Every structure is written in structure tokens, then in C-alpha cells.
Chains A and B, each alone.
Chain A
Amino acid sequence: MERLLNVVSLLSLTLAAFVLFSLRRKHIRVEYSVSWLAAAIAMFILSRWHGGLAWLGQAIGVADPALALAMIIAGVFLAVFYRFSMILSHLKDANTALAQRCAILEFRLESIESKDAEA
């Protein structure tokens, strides 16, 4: 059990370090890094705070702290993935609208230019 918690602590620190590194290299934007950093911090706190993990395990009806931790981590990551699905959906809609507007403007510009050329 203790070894598992140590591994989770290490993973959470690795995740936080990776996110910070990506931020520094501008691979991800600050607003999208917050979810991952929050997930990493939550994982780290739960892996170090045994009393809190036991309490949460009881609250969700799981007696085994290791299983409780796995479920909580899965829940946190599901929430993060869902948030990113929403962001992606919004971005896709915006991107489509922008591409359509760009195509229409290009079409209208070509029409004006061909009229000018004829005149």
C-alpha cells in the first residue's frame, strides 16, 4: 500500500513537472494547464494524506484505500478529459465558422478583383 502511494506521489510530481515544462516551452497554454496541474496536486495530496484518503474511501463506500485512490484518480482524469472534450467541441465549431467565413471572403474578393479587371 505504502509503495503504491509513493508511486502515485512520484507520478503526480512527474505530471506537474511535465506540465510546467510544457508551459515553459509554450507547448500548452496556461488556461489548459490548470486542469492538469489541479489533477496532479489532488493526486499528490491524496497519496500523502492517509487520513483524507481513508475518509474519502469511506465516503464513496470503498474500504480498500488503494482502490479508492484508483477510483478517485480515474474520476479526476475523466473530469479533465470531459472538460477538454467541451473545449475541443467549441474550438471545432469556431474553426469551421472561421474557415467558412475565410472561404466566403476569398470568393467575394476574387469576384471584386475579376470585376475590376474587366473594367
Chain B
Amino acid sequence: MKELLVLIPAFNEEGAITNVIEEVQKAVPGAFVLVVDDCSADSTRFLATLAGARVLTVPHHLGLGGCLQAGYRLAYELGYDFVIRVDGDGQHDPADIPRVLEALKTTGCEMAIGSRFVGGHANQATSLPRGIGIALFRAILRPILGKPVHDPTSGFVGVNRAALNVFSRSFPLEYPEIEALVVLQRKAFRFTEVPCTFRPRRTGTSTITPLRSFYYIVHVLLGVFVNVLKYDGRTRRS
């Protein structure tokens, strides 16, 4: 078995991808670094390869969820025990990867979420609309998950092989972070949160507009609702 694969979804991230890969290599030397290139129109693929990562290029734009699932599928087929996802825009600090990996190994949880709202990192700034969205999703997820989740929209996520098996077969395709928690809950898997540092994106601008935020909230709420309806009580861990 191989231990750790670091999964970096990237779409037009030529300005940040090299630094992210170098930081990952520095934080976890020897880890397999896989960039999933979502059919970027810029030099993302070339620069990622140049920086020493392996690149999985999907043949057409799949969106974040489709890209992540492709990476999870490959990681599962290659036999990796743990996969940790960091974003290709540099918002996640790869120096936190060992802490997320340690949490996966020591807690026995199937998922470890890098959180900006727990531990000594609880005061990291976020925009008002995002803060409202996070508060809303916290309130909705609390009864579904059976425990509080402080940073449900975090993309800094580590999973073990059991969760990898599930995600390689079933993964939300458009806005995956929150729905993925519910997918795991349906399997009675557990998660833990690890304090992590989030940084401003290094390049590009966020595509989130008020209208998209509204669509995001409606879409995710619907996705959560559908996943809860699909819930099979027989799979709950005793």
C-alpha cells in the first residue's frame, strides 16, 4: 500500500500552481502530488509537470466535483491509504498537511477537515456573505451530522481509504464540500476538524457573485436534502 497522495484540483491556476506544488513537496517530502487539471486554457498543466507533480487532465471541463472524483478514483485504483486535497490557488497552507494526516491516522475518522474556525485559528476573516452562508450550513448540518461542523465549506480535506472507496464511486459533482459530508454520514463515517491557516488567493479573482451565492445555497440545500432522503439507516455504525 502507498501512504499519501496530495490532490490539487486546478483550473487556470498558472499564477499559483508552481508555488503550491513546491510548498506541498516541502511539507510532505515523498508524497505523491497529483494535480487534476480541469482542462485549463493556460499553462497550468505545463507548470505543474515542470514543478514535479503528476498531472491528470480531464478531456473537457468537469467542474470541481468531477475533477476531484477523477482524482479520488485514480488514488483509490493506485492503492493510496490517505488523500489530502489542497486547492490550486494557494488559499490552503500546505504546511498544515502533516497535521491533517496525523488527525486521520490517530483519530480513526474517515475524514479530517482543515478548519479556519477551530483552535487558535478561530478568528480568521471571511467575507460577510460567506460568513452568513457558513452559519446557515452549520445550523442545517448540525442535526444531520449529529455533531457540529465549524467549517463546512472548507476544501482542505483529508480522507482515508474507506472514504476514498465511497468517493471514488459516489461524489457530488458541482459544489462538493458540504454534500460530501452528508454522503459520508450516510455511511456512518466520522469526521474531525483540524485547525488550519487559510490565506487569500494568490492569483485570479473569485467568481462568486451575489446571484451565484444564492444559486450555491439553493443548490447545496437541495443536494443535502436529496442525500438525506437517500439515507439508509441500516448502514449506520452501531
Contact = CB atoms under 8 A, between A and B. Distances in A.
Interface stretch (B12-20, B66-74, B149-157, B212-220): B66-74
B77 A100 contact: no
B58 A107 contact: no
A99 B60 contact: yes
Interface residues of A, number: 8
B62 interface: yes
A17 interface: no
B59 interface: yes
A64 B229 CA distance: 41
Given A96-B66, A96-B173, A103 B54 contact: no
Nearest to A100: B70
Contacts of B54: 107
A99 B74 contact: no
Contacts of B58: 99-100, 102-103
B136 to A, nearest CB: 27
> Max chain B CB contacts within 10 Å: which of A96, A99, A100, A106?
A100
Given A106-B57, A107-B56, A100 B73 contact: yes
Contacts of A106: 57
Contacts of B62: 96, 99-100
Nearest to B72: A100
B55 to A, nearest CB: 8
Nearest to A103: B58
Interface of A: 96, 99-100, 102-104, 106-107
18 contacts: A96-B69, A99-B58, A99-B62, A99-B70, A100-B58, A100-B62, A100-B66, A100-B69, A100-B73, A102-B58, A103-B58, A103-B59, A103-B70, A104-B70, A106-B57, A107-B54, A107-B56, A107-B74
